[in-house]
Every structure is written in structure tokens, then in C-alpha cells.
Structure 1
Amino acid sequence: MKRLLFACLCLFPGLANAQTTLFSAETLKGWVNVRAVATNGETSWLHERAYGKTRYGGETKGRLAEAALIWTPRFSETVTGYIQVVHVPELGHETGINEAYLKWRPVPKSALRLSARLGQMYPPVSMEHEGVGWTTTHTVTPSAINSWIAEEVLVQGLELSLKQSYSQQQVGATLGVFRGNDTSGTLLSYRGWALHDIRSTTTAKLPLPRGNAGWSRIFRSQAPFTKPAKEIDDRQGYYARLDWRPSVPLALNATYYNTHGNPTDFDNGQYGWATRFFNFGAKYEPSARIEILSQLMVGNTKWGRMRADGVRAVDMDFRSAYLMASHISPKGRRLTARFEHFETEDYSNPLIDNNNETGQALTLAWMRPINAHLDLNLEWLAVSSKRPSRLYQGLDPQSSQSQLQLDLKIKY
């Protein structure tokens, strides 16, 4: 982070002399989420290093879900800052930095729009996190795709974006280079897909499943947790995104992401992973009150030295897709339904470390803004999955569970 801050000063040399607005009602925002939760099925992956697919598992109680504070100082007409600090009880009661970056957006002089971000941030993959502070706007729990982005794809780098409007269309391109995120793929491989609203921080440690077989018996140097923001091989990753908005009420995007990681590097209990994926997104708005969204992600993650058969110690494809329909009323009440499918395919040695998985999930959510400082959200989530590695904990490979959440968001 220190190197990134130094780069910020180099990129924006007039920053220190610019007229600034550091603290005001507009530069400070925050919220607290409290929930009543009822779930069944297996224990959550966040507790006792289990395989459960939801944030909560086998419990009925009220709890604090998240507390967040956002600071958005303005340094000049074109340069702003963004720092979000979050408190997540499941991550060892950790309070840490989620996103922290400088943003440059020059005053446009034509139909071309240019912007840049420098710091710690999420790549522009999710179509669900459109709210303040990279929060979801359609459901409480994001899809499996964007739950994984939130937990394992937090990067530190530089991003440039261009948008060009002509006639009744708009095209855009985004390029990013980054460091960190070398462990991306660890959790997806050993635990599999999950659905939750946990967001990582710079120092987050996410638990890996326990067991006396599978990865925990073979790769004993691996710590029982993964650090999503860790830099291991001193190599730069990159991503690129294309956007197109035609004259009809449709938005399409395609993203390629590559950690460019060295899959043979190791540092203090954390392995380097080579992870790459394509993400395709679409949003259709047949009317002012109806939205239909969809994302498809296909990718691969691997770790270890190349074997004689051309496969590494862990070599896994992953795929997921969702279709969502959402309706918002004139009073701002939103009703959303989402169906999704997810799977992983293990090419390494599933006889001794099986990372195969298939599953589906259905989400129904109702969200109601009560006033400027209070939102009420109700969500039901059902997940069914088959993962042979559950046998390592003496569990049935097939699992079904549901989760009901009543969420109260207090904004300040």
C-alpha cells in the first residue's frame, strides 16, 4: 500500500496544492446491518472450517452482520479519494480496509469520457454491487460469482477507463494492472462456490475446510486459511473489460482477468495460484421498473509443479451463471428472483483430493427503503450442491440448505 500511495502522488503531482474538502457531511458515510437469521443444513464455511454454502448455517438468532465507514475526500475538481473500512464479525471480529483508492475524472470536453483509479479495489466484474460502498442493490446475498469476487478478487493496482458516446450508443473499455491477489483460487478450489455477503479486507484470513484427507493431508505446508490480498511472486496481473450499450435498453460487457501468477511460488503458508477467467454480463430493461440481469463466468485455477501428464498438483476449471429478474415499485420497493448454477471440474487427482462440485441456488428478495436512514430487507435463499470432498469430514456429499434473513440497514 505504501508503494501505491507514493505512485498516487507521482500520478497526480498537483494534489497537495489543490483546494480540498476533507471532512463534511458529503465526505463521510456509513451504515450498520443487523439481522435476524434462520437457517438449516450444514455449518457455514465461516465456522469450524466447514463446507456450508451460506454465510449462516444451522442457527436461528439475531446478529450484527456488518458495520462500515466510507470517507470520500475531494482534493480538486478532478481528483477524489475513497477509503472504506468494514467490520465483519465472522472474520475474527476484524476491522479492516476493503477498498482504498484515488480516482481521477477530468472534466469532459467531448463525447469521450476518461477516468482512472489507483489503489486497492475490486475489478469491474459484478453487476450486483451497484450500491454505495460496493454493496448489492437487488438482494442481500450476491450470486456465487460475485460472492467469490468479493472474497478472493481484491486487487491493488492502476485502472484506466474510457467511454465514447456516438449517435444513441455507448462503448467503453477498461484496462487494469495489479499486484497482490496471488492466492486467488485457493478458497474456490478447496471449499468450492459459496453464497454470502462477506467482503475481504487487506488483512483478511478466510478459513479453509478442515479434514484428515484431501488437500489438508497432501499440502501440509498450506496454512488453514487463505489471504486474498497477499503478494507472493512479484509479478503483475491484469484485466480488461469491454462495454457496449446499443440504442435499445440493453447493456453488454465482457471481462478477462488473469493473475499472471507463478503456480510454484510459496511464502509463509500461502501458495501462489495461476487464476484466469472470462466473465460475460447482460442487463435488459424492458421498462423503467423491470430489470433482467445475467452473468456467466468460466475460468481455471492451478497450483504446483507440472507433472508428466501436463497437469499441476491442483488444476481446476470453474463455471457459474445466474439469471435475475427484478421489479421496483413507484415507492422504491424492490422484488427480485434469481436462479443460478455453479460447478467445478478437477483435472488433477480427484481420487485423493476431489475438488469436483455441482450445485444450484434460488434466491427471492424483497427490499424496502423506509426513509433516508433505514432500509428493510427480507431474503430467502435455497442452495443444493454435491461435493465429494464432504466425505473428508464424514458428511454426505449431497447437501441442501435454506437461509431466511431479515436485514435492517441503518445508514448515517
Structure 2
Amino acid sequence: MKYLIALLGLLATPAFADTSLFARENIKGWIDLRAVSANGEKSWLDGHYGKLRYGDQSKLSLGEATLIWTPRFTDTLSAYVQVVHVPEWGHETGINEAYLKWRPVPKSGLRVSARLGQMYPPVSLEHEGTGWTTTHTITPSAINAWVGEEVIVQGAELSLKQTFDDQQIGVTLGVFRGNDTSGTLLAYRGWALHDLRSTTTAKPPLPVGNAGWSQTFRRQSPFTKPLKEVDDRQGYYLRLDWRPPVPVSLNFTYFNTHGNPTDFDNGQYGWATRFFNFGAKYEVTETTDILSQVMVGNTKWGRMRTDGVRAIDADYRSAYVMVSHRFDDGARLSLRGETFETEDYSAPSLDNNNETGHAVTLAWMRPVNAHLDLNTEVLHIDSDRPARAYQGLPPQQDQTQVQVMLKVKF
């Protein structure tokens, strides 16, 4: 018996040789402080139809405080837990991503990895930084701002990547639950540009007025819960990647909540939401990149009417192109232009969810040292949303937001 125990000990030693739970390398975080000035309409975070995080104000603000724990259990198994404090969310502190990750040592050109837990599907090309943060601008595009607020899931993901002599192909498949309200913000509020990320406790507010959804669909809470499970059905996503033998990378993602659009639970409706996302990155030089994403999708809820349309039935589309240049000192200058729209097929005379808009963003991101970043951004947006009339506002609005961010890392 003692020889069996010794043998098991020898077999276990290599696997746990790299265990690290609370070393300095396992814990990191930051505090994000901002000086902000924005004109135009009030923010959607205050129950309005404004498209930006800040609106009609100038102030000093805490952007967020983040703590990340990345324990390593073996040389192939690790975990990731991120706790975020955001002043604007309904419950200010919560867990953003939290998952186990398995990545075996590759023995050929095939690389395998898997994740299990709460996470973002691999959609964004902009969130390449630690803690699913942006590396080109302070504010992500409308596409990835929406991913950050409504496309967080709880599930399992398997990724396979095969490298050939001069190219690489990849397949990622995910199955999830806990995302049944995805589409609520897109329909009732429309697109928005901000850097907020959902958490287990977040309650993003919906616009209110004397008409529209708040009068037509009174069972809906005045907020949405992005991680709410309503119908006990599993959603899924599929991503395909291709890196050809040229400085270009291409990807395609299909995402489907597989939601039951007739279910309802405690003020939250189940939504059937799906989208196609196309992404491309062109490395013009070693320091200059061009990034682009195009997303098209549909979201709906409610029983089917005789005309084949549900109570809410809307298509949504958005696209951006960004040029980014990195300087020798690590600073980065980026310029992004984008367009977005929603098209309402249900009952716009009662609850008009149509929308069109454009935005331009210019950002300067500069690392001062290993513990301090100084970032500046100017964002201008114009949009037309008839639902603004429910709050006594003209449908067409434009505004400019200027931010200076000081990010202190530890």
C-alpha cells in the first residue's frame, strides 16, 4: 500500500509543481480616475436616450476600480476572477468574468483550450487588454459596448487552433445559459457607446417616458438584468478564425441565445436574440493596424401575431473601421468611424424602436510607466431616434464627450 501511495505522489508532483494561488503574480488591479466634459442630452444611465456614458455635464469621476485574481492550479489548469466596482450600475460592485481555463501543452501544430464559467464570447477585436479592457480607445465601438453590457454568458467553451506552415485556422464553440434578456437594451434604448461591463449585480436602466415601452409593456422592470436566466434553455455560439499567409486575420461569429420569447420571470422577459459578426485586422506595418467589425442581428420577444411579427421584433446593424498607430514609446493614436441602426417591425406607432446614427472617436493612449497610463479621448456622435419624443425631445440629437483618464495599476 505504501508503494502505491508513493507512486501516486510521484505522478502528482509534476502536475502541481507550478501551483500558485496568492503570489504577487496572481493578483492585479487598477483604479481609473477621469476628468469628463460632455454636452448634449443626458446619459441613458439616468433613464434617458443619450448614447454616451456621460451627458450634459463636466466632472471628476471614478471610472471603475478592478481587482483580478488569476490562480494557477497546475501547469495546464488556471482560473480567472474579476471583481469590478462601477459607480453607475444599479448595484455598484459585482463579478464580471469568472472562469476556469484549461490549456494543455501542445505536442503538435494543434492547440486546444477550454473555459468554464462566466465570460465574454470571443467577439471583440478592441478588448485586447487585461481584464477585457480596450487598448485603442477609452470607449469601445457601439458593437463591443453592447457586447460588454448584454452578451456576457455563463457556460462552457472549447477552442481548437491548427497551425500550418504559413497560416492558422481556428474553431471555437460555446454553449451557455444566463443571457436570456440580451436584446432588451438594444430594443428599448438602442445602441450606445460606453466602456461599462456587466456584472452579476448590474441593473442597466431603461429609458422612461409618458409613452413607449414603459406604458405599453408595464410588466417590464425599469431595468434589465443581463445575466438573468428565464427559460432554462441553452444558447450557443460558433467562431471561425483564419490567418492567411499575409498580414491579415479574419473571423466570423454566430451567436444565438436560443431564447423562448414568450417566457417572463419577475419583471424580465425572455428574448430571442441572434447575430452574425464579421471581424478583420490588417497589419499595414509593424506599428500600424486597421481593424473593422460588422454586426447584423435580430432580437424579439412576445407571442406571434397574425401578421407573423412579435410584440417586439427588431433588426440591428452596426459597423466600424479604425486606424491605429503605435509609437516607439508605446503611445498609441487611434481614429475610429462607425455607423449603427435598428429597424422596428412590430408596432412603431405605440413603441417606436427605429434608430440611425454615426460616431467618430479620436484617442491618444500613453503608458507613463509600468503602473500608470494617461489616456485622452474625444468622441462625437449624432443619432436619430423617434422615441425621444416620449421625453419631449427632438428625435435628432448630437453630442461631444471629452475624457482624460488616469489609470493607476498595481
Instruction: Bin the TM-score by the shorter chain.
Output: over 0.9
Letter in 1 for 2:25: E
- Name the residue aligned to 1:35: 34
- Name the residue aligned to 1:168: 166
Alignment root-mean-square deviation, CA: 1.1
1:86 aligned to which of 84, 100, 104: 84
Q: Counterpart of 1:225 in 2: which secondary structure?
A: coil
Q: How does 1:215-226 map to 2 (within 5 A)?
A: 215-226=213-224
1:188 aligned to which of 186, 189, 199: 186
Q: Counterpart of 1:151 in 2: which secondary structure?
A: helix
Q: How does 1:5-404 map to 2 (within 5 A)?
A: 18=16, 20-47=19-46, 49-92=47-90, 94-404=92-402
Find the aligned partners of 2:237 and 2:59 in 1 and give their Cα distance.
41
Write out per-residue CA displacement over residues 297-347 of structure 1, whole angstroms, 9 at most, x where no aligned residue.
000000000000000000000000000000000111100000000000000
Residue segments in structure 2 that go unaligned for 5+ positions in a row: 1-11
Find the aligned partners of 1:155 and 1:88 in 2 and give their Cα distance.
19
Q: Normalised by the size of structure 1, how large is the TM-score?
A: 0.95
Find the aligned partners of 2:179 and 2:294 in 1 and give their Cα distance.
21
Report the alpha carbon displacement of residue 203 of structure 1 after superposing the two structures with TM: 1.8
Report the alpha carbon displacement of residue 92 of structure 1 after superposing the two structures with TM: 3.4
Letter in 2 for 1:358: T
Q: Counterpart of 1:123 in 2: which secondary structure?
A: coil
- Name the residue aligned to 1:8: none
Is the CA contact 2:91–2:203 (under 8 Å) kept in the aligned structure 1?
no
Find the aligned partners of 1:105 and 1:93 in 2 and give their Cα distance.
34
Letter in 1 for 2:201: T
Letter in 1 for 2:394: D
Report the alpha carbon displacement of residue 21 of structure 1 after superposing the two structures with TM: 1.0
Report the alpha carbon displacement of residue 18 of structure 1 after superposing the two structures with TM: 3.9
Find the aligned partners of 2:348 and 2:56 in 1 and give their Cα distance.
29
CA gap of 1:93–1:237, structure 2 versus 1, over 3 A, is closer
Letter in 1 for 2:249: A
Is the CA contact 2:170–2:241 (under 8 Å) kept in the aligned structure 1?
yes
Q: Counterpart of 1:131 in 2: which secondary structure?
A: coil
Is the CA contact 2:291–2:322 (under 8 Å) kept in the aligned structure 1?
yes
Find the aligned partners of 1:92 and 1:313 in 2 and give their Cα distance.
27
Letter in 2 for 1:250: V
Letter in 1 for 2:99: Y
Letter in 2 for 1:31: W
Letter in 1 for 2:337: F
Letter in 2 for 1:30: G
Report the alpha carbon displacement of residue 93 of structure 1 after superposing the two structures with TM: 5.5
Letter in 1 for 2:20: T
Find the aligned partners of 1:236 and 1:312 in 2 and give their Cα distance.
21
Find the aligned partners of 2:237 and 2:332 in 1 and give their Cα distance.
33
- Name the residue aligned to 2:4: none
Write out per-residue CA displacement over residues 91-147 of structure 1, whole angstroms, 9 at most, x where no aligned residue.
136110000000000000000000000000000000000000000000000000000
Report the alpha carbon displacement of residue 281 of structure 1 after superposing the two structures with TM: 0.2
Letter in 1 for 2:74: S
Q: Normalised by the size of structure 2, how large is the TM-score?
A: 0.96
Q: Counterpart of 1:192 in 2: which secondary structure?
A: coil
Letter in 2 for 1:292: I
Letter in 1 for 2:28: K
Find the aligned partners of 2:342 and 2:388 in 1 and give their Cα distance.
14
- Name the residue aligned to 1:4: none
Find the aligned partners of 1:183 and 1:227 in 2 and give their Cα distance.
7
Q: Counterpart of 2:186 in 1: which secondary structure?
A: helix
Worse-superposed segment, 357-366 or 20-29 = 20-29
Is the CA contact 2:180–2:226 (under 8 Å) kept in the aligned structure 1?
yes
How many equivalent residue pairs?
397
Write out per-residue CA displacement over residues 223-263 of structure 1, whole angstroms, 9 at most, x where no aligned residue.
00000000000000000000000010000000000000000
Percentage of matched positions with identical amino acids: 72
Is the CA contact 2:90–2:204 (under 8 Å) kept in the aligned structure 1?
no
Q: Counterpart of 1:30 in 2: which secondary structure?
A: strand
Find the aligned partners of 1:286 and 1:276 in 2 and give their Cα distance.
32
Report the alpha carbon displacement of residue 149 of structure 1 after superposing the two structures with TM: 0.2
Find the aligned partners of 1:360 and 1:327 in 2 and give their Cα distance.
23
Letter in 2 for 1:249: P
Find the aligned partners of 1:137 and 1:322 in 2 and give their Cα distance.
16
- Name the residue aligned to 2:5: none
Q: Counterpart of 2:60 in 1: which secondary structure?
A: strand
Write out per-residue CA displacement over residues 49-86 of structure 1, whole angstroms, 9 at most, x where no aligned residue.
01100000011111100000000000001000000000
